[in-house]
């Protein structure tokens, strides 16, 4: 399957997207314990504060299928949004029937480019940052959250199957790199302790 098909899928129904997302997830052995999503221009194509609670919102075409696939595969999902209108965001999540899918919803205005949101997510879930995957449409958030150890993926036109595949690929690469670093450190540490034992015989 090529990335063009990942990106295309506009005509794919929710079930088809879910099936495809599950197939993508199954391709990876190392999976995140938590996937975190921004809301505005990541899960839905608008800014909450520009909308009214009385409106019926809609998600990007791949979003619901991807959320359902992650849940079915036992991967927790959460929200990190800097929207100043949490009441509208929560109303829309309820109207869309997805509010209960998320283990935590951190929706509040902040100047920290979401590092506060992730500290709260970590406190509430106990999941380490390097076991998380994050999707957002703002580069400054991606950069700030990446520094915390979270695999962070920029999306330019909403989350889709292509972004999911890229996210899981980068998550695997980051896990492999940190495992390699750990092994190198352990090797060096054991060599150092061996040499210090030799130089300080009892």
Catalogue the active-site residues: 38, 40
Is 5 in contact with 21 (CB distance < 8 Å)? no
Please name the residue ranges forming H helices in the chain: 3-7, 14-26, 63-72, 86-95, 115-125, 139-146, 161-199
Is 65 in contact with 163 (CB distance < 8 Å)? no
Residue 9: HSE in the Cβ half-sphere, 13 Å Cα cutoff:
29
Is 42 in contact with 77 (CB distance < 8 Å)? no
d(CA 81, CA 48): 10
Supply φ then ψ for residue 156, to 5 degrees.
Answer: -95, -20
CA 6 remoteness from chain centre: 18
Start-to-end C-alpha separation, the chain? 63
Closest C-alpha to 154, from 170, 137, 129: 137
d(CA 150, CA 146): 5
């Amino acid at each position: 399957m090529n990335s063009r098909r990942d990106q295309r899928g506009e005509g794919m129904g929710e079930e088809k997207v879910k099936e495809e997302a599950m197939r993508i997830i199954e391709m990876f052995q190392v999976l995140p314990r938590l996937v975190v999503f921004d809301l505005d221009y990541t899960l839905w194509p608008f800014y909450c504060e520009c909308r009214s609670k009385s409106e019926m919102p809609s998600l990007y075409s791949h979003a619901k299928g991807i959320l359902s696939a992650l849940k079915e595969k036992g991967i927790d999902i959460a929200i990190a949004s800097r929207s100043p209108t949490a009441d509208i965001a929560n109303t829309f999540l309820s109207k869309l029937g997805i509010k209960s899918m998320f283990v935590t919803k951190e929706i509040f205005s902040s100047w920290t480019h979401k590092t506060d949101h992730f500290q709260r997510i970590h406190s509430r879930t106990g999941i380490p940052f390097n076991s998380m995957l994050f999707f957002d449409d703002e580069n400054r958030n991606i950069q700030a959250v990446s520094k915390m150890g979270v695999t962070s993926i920029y999306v330019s036109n909403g989350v889709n199957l292509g972004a999911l595949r890229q996210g899981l690929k980068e998550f695997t690469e980051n896990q492999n790199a940190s495992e390699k670093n750990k092994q190198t450190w352990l090797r060096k540490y054991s060599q150092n302790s061996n040499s210090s034992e030799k130089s300080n015989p009892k």
